[in-house]
Amino acid sequence: QAVDLLVLGGTIVTMDQQRRIIDDGGIAVSKGRIVAIGPRAEIERRYTARQRVNATGKVITPGLINGHTHVPMVLFRGLADDLDLQEWLTKYIFPAEARNVTEEFVRVGARLGLAEMIRGGTTTYCDMYYFEDAIADETAKAGVRGVLGETIIDFPVADNKTNAEGMAYVEKFVNHWKGNELIIPAIAPHAPYTVSEEHLKAARAFSDRTGVPIVTHISETKREVDDSVKSKGASPVAYLERIGFLNDRVIAAHMVWPQGTDLAILKR
């Protein structure tokens, strides 16, 4: 049977239910899908392909998944990275983004970040940043899969100066990429401490209407949790449940300070 690609030799770590490891294995790929995995001799007997990759001496595994990135921020690597989150954001990152972030900046940063991911074995990632349409374009060109969220935040940023402009960008972005074989577009309200209740609810309504994921930050630091309890009378998770923000499409980045009943809420 003719297929597009054969990867032959090497040790295949299948990660299947039986946790099989196949020495001197083979993989057949057709139309972007793996159609067979097995011993090399069996795969070579059953399939032919113009493109053959000799993986002898290598380990072949499923691609890694990076669950949370701001991929163009590789260009800010090392900037004040010894500070706590709030000081890092407000005194360094937000000002640096205001001065430097353009669509070209985002494209260059995305190319670098994607190259590093590919080199490290990552084939799928979840991102949120600005000019996400450009990031999607670079991701598709690189042949990487992405769940990519356009950031919504309650102050002027590089690609949008108002919430209305941001929502219009998201609408166009989702319409452009929805159904793409590599890209899943998303809406990304930055965090409950940078996005108002009104705009969080609008993001949830947009997700309900379009079916796209919501990417956000929740309970990143103890300070965030303490501030939320003081100002809202609830942890970030409990607050977001109270306003009807949470659903099964929410991707909650970090989430390292769950409190009390937060895990029970998230389980529901």
Q: 5-60 domain in CATH 3.40.50.720?
A: no
In the sheet where 11-13 sits, what is the strand order?
21-22, 11-13, 59-60
Summarize the confidence of residues 225-252 as an average pLDDT: 97
pLDDT score at 211: 98
CB atoms within 10 A of CB 189: 32
d(C-alpha 197, C-alpha 201), whole Å: 6
CATH of domain 64-267: 3.20.20.140
Residue-wise pLDDT tens digits, 142-192: 999 999 999 999 999 999 999 999 999 999 999 999 999 999 999 999 999
Cβ-based neighbours of 230, under 8 Å, separated by 6 or more: none
Confidence of residue 268 (pLDDT cuts 50, 70, 90): confident
pLDDT score at 49: 97
- Residue intervals of the chain classified under CATH 2.30.40.10 are 5-60
Burial bucket for residue 103 (CB in 10 Å: 0-12, 13-18, 19+) = middle
Burial bucket for residue 247 (CB in 10 Å: 0-12, 13-18, 19+) = exposed
- Residue intervals of the chain classified under CATH 3.20.20.140 are 64-267
Summarize the confidence of residues 234-238 as an average pLDDT: 98
Triad 186, 119, 38: Cα angle to 5°: 90
260 has pLDDT over 90: no
Summarize the confidence of residues 11-23 as an average pLDDT: 96
Residue-wise pLDDT tens digits, 46-100: 999 999 999 999 999 999 999 999 999 999 999 998 999 999 999 999 999 999 9
